[in-house]
Amino acid sequence: MASEGFHEPLDLLDEATLDYHRAMSSLCEELEAIDWYHQRVQATADGSLAAVLAYNRDDEKEHAAMALEWLRRRDEALDAQLRKYLFSTGPVTEVGSEAAGDTSASTTSGSLGIGSLKGVAQ
């Protein structure tokens, strides 16, 4: 089994859901790796090792961003949340409250979020 993270029988999951899970698992692994590398950078007393670990840590950030972008392109709700919060200015908690008074993201975007149906049953 390539992943142990399934919570439902595999025969109930379509191919798109399996790919979604793969990408989610990959994203989690990349974020965990960033955290681990970061701790090791702080812990080591060897400056040359810290430089190598910091380089590797930042490489994982690119991997995480790629996985997140793959998910964003296929998940309308995630897309809406990322568009709302990323690259905003001011307190993060106020970004959400400002948006709360607006029409919901799904209402304003207009996209029905159909996407690929490959693997979807008849």
Partner 1 sequence: MNHLHRDLAPISDADWDVIDDEAKSRLPTYLAARKLVDFEGPHGWAHSATNLGRVTEIAGPAEGVSALQRTVLPMVELRTEFTVSRTELDDVDRGAGSPDLAELDEAILQIALGENVTVFHGHKAAGFRGITEATSHAPVVVGDVANGPDAVARAVNALRKAGIGGPYGLAICPDMYTTIVESTELGGELLLDHLRKILGGPLVWAPGIQDGVVISLRGGDFKIESGQDLSIGYLDHDADVVRLYLEESLNFRVLEPDAAVALRLGD
The contact set with partner 1 (CB under 8 A) reads 73, 103-104, 106-122
CB-wise, 35 or 69, nearer to partner 1? Answer: 69
| CA separation, residue 75 to residues 3, 23, 30, 44, 72 (Å) | 21, 12, 19, 39, 5
Cα–Cα distance, 39 to 80 (Å, whole number):
32
- Minimum CB distance to partner 1, residue 122 (Å): 6
Q: How many CA atoms lie within 13 A of 111 on its CB side?
A: 12
Q: Residue 56 or residue 81: which is nearer to partner 1 going by CB?
A: 81
- Inter-residue contact 110 to 6 (CB < 8 Å): no
Q: Between 3 and 106, whose beta carbon lies closer to partner 1?
A: 106
Nearer to partner 1 among residue 49 and residue 78 (C-beta): 78
Minimum distance, C-beta of residue 25 to partner 1, in the bound complex (Å): 21
Smallest gap from residue 111 Cβ to partner 1 (A): 5
Question: Residue 86 Cβ, how far from partner 1 at the closest point, in Å?
Answer: 16
